[in-house]
Structure 1
């Protein structure tokens, strides 16, 4: 029979242990995301990720037995976040202009808050999506089709002008993701260390205006 309070003590220890594991895993993933973004899959090693995370290689391998499993988890997390922010169109219930501005804002927030994650995904795609192509087909394509259906419904209802919805989405992705993937180029042109909040605010207004005006129904 356990003494009074023993179960509470065990629960606290288990909770503390889980918290430590979560923090360590988060540190590993943050380090891996940045290194994969900077160096690509081939240029990143488990040893360099462990060093960046401040742990031993053996400790890292306890969480992620191979570089492939670590890369897979990084891309899974990136895509989870990216797709969640893309849900504005799939769940569209408001006016097209409001929904589109919210979509642009969400995509730019991702670029601002998760620039390294965006660059990891970009690196994978630029390399031909050899590792992650099937997951992109399975998860991105269905959402893309749902978004296209929203645009096509708006067109049929006369709420927006008729356009190629697929290429419209490609353009939206390019305009918003470039603020992460090409932030270094933009900073050089603007002669500043990095993009600031004002730059993202300006981009949100401009991109939103461009899209809304381009899609304005002519009746």
Structure 2
């Protein structure tokens, strides 16, 4: 039996911190594989700056040298009204029936689920396991204890709370803004992705 982490994000674009986070989680949580799951531009709760095809290509370029990393376009090919993390996790559990599958997320998303802001959030928590990364200003244990949705489904193994040990955050928004104003975010993202963005004039 293996351990697999599902790492969803817009990756618009993918950054070096995305890669460092995935590597840290894989090492600390003894994961055999981290699957990068780019969000679909058809989702009603997100607005993408870049076409799905560009984001897919950049993620593939960024992870191609790490045998533990792979990409899945499951959410990108779903109809927009059917894209919920609950369904996504069911898909991966059926895809890997012999393995333990974890959803990787930040503590900010844990708070949102606890507040009832996610569709099928309670079912998601009740039927899955999570690796939750610390975010500045969020007490993860307190967030769980304050939310009936979270605390009533926490059997001691539901949440693996992880502090990466270094509060390094590079937002994709910042990188997009830098490209837009002619800035130089070169070393904030993989070199291949930087060159791809310049070549295709993305975010300008």
Whether TM exceeds 0.5 here: the answer is no
Question: Which is richer in strand?
Answer: 2
Question: Which is richer in helix?
Answer: 1
TM, length-normalised to structure 1: 0.25
